[in-house]
Amino acid sequence: MNQEHSVKQYRSSRQRERLLALLRSTNTHPTASWLYDRLKTEFPNLSLGTVYRNLSILIEQGLVKKIDAGSTFDRFEAKTTPHDHLICKKCGKIIDFEQRFFPEINDEISRSVDFYIESHRIDFFGTCSDCRTIQ
């Protein structure tokens, strides 16, 4: 057993299965509360605590990522392929942006500074097309 990276064993649960499925079915980068509301129709007694606990397990398993979009609340995504985000400062919408710059950037910088880099995030802030047309 590797003490540092011992992988915790989890039992399966319908709530967590459906939570992951729900996250995978959308590209809207939901909040915990949105996920809760949606799942509530399927699990009438669902609690928000369960949503948070399962999100945290899925994150630990690497199946879900937390997105810091500068709001007071977190957003989540189940997309595993590397991509960047366009974040609208007016409506908060997050759009995935496939074109990824510098896929090799992590190693490159790790070599140049005394810091071991595992990952990076690139977020662009501005105004989405919807918010520009409304103006």
Q: What, of a copy of itself, DNA, none, does residue 56 touch, CB below 5 to 8 Å by kind?
A: DNA
Least distance from C-beta 45 to a copy of itself, angstroms? 28
CB-count exposure of residue 123 (10 Å: 0-12, 13-18, 19+): middle
7 vs 83: CA distance, rounded Å: 26
User: Does residue number 49 form part of the binding site for DNA (CB under 7 A)?
Assistant: yes
# binding residues, DNA (CB under 7 A): 26
77 vs 134: CA distance, rounded Å: 27
How many C-beta atoms surround the C-beta of residue 54 within 10 A? 22
- Choices 66-74, 87-95, 103-111, 122-130 (CB under 7 A): range interacting with DNA: 66-74
Interface residues with a copy of itself (CB under 8 A)? 66, 68, 70, 86, 88-89, 95, 97, 99, 101-102, 105-106, 109-110, 112-129, 132
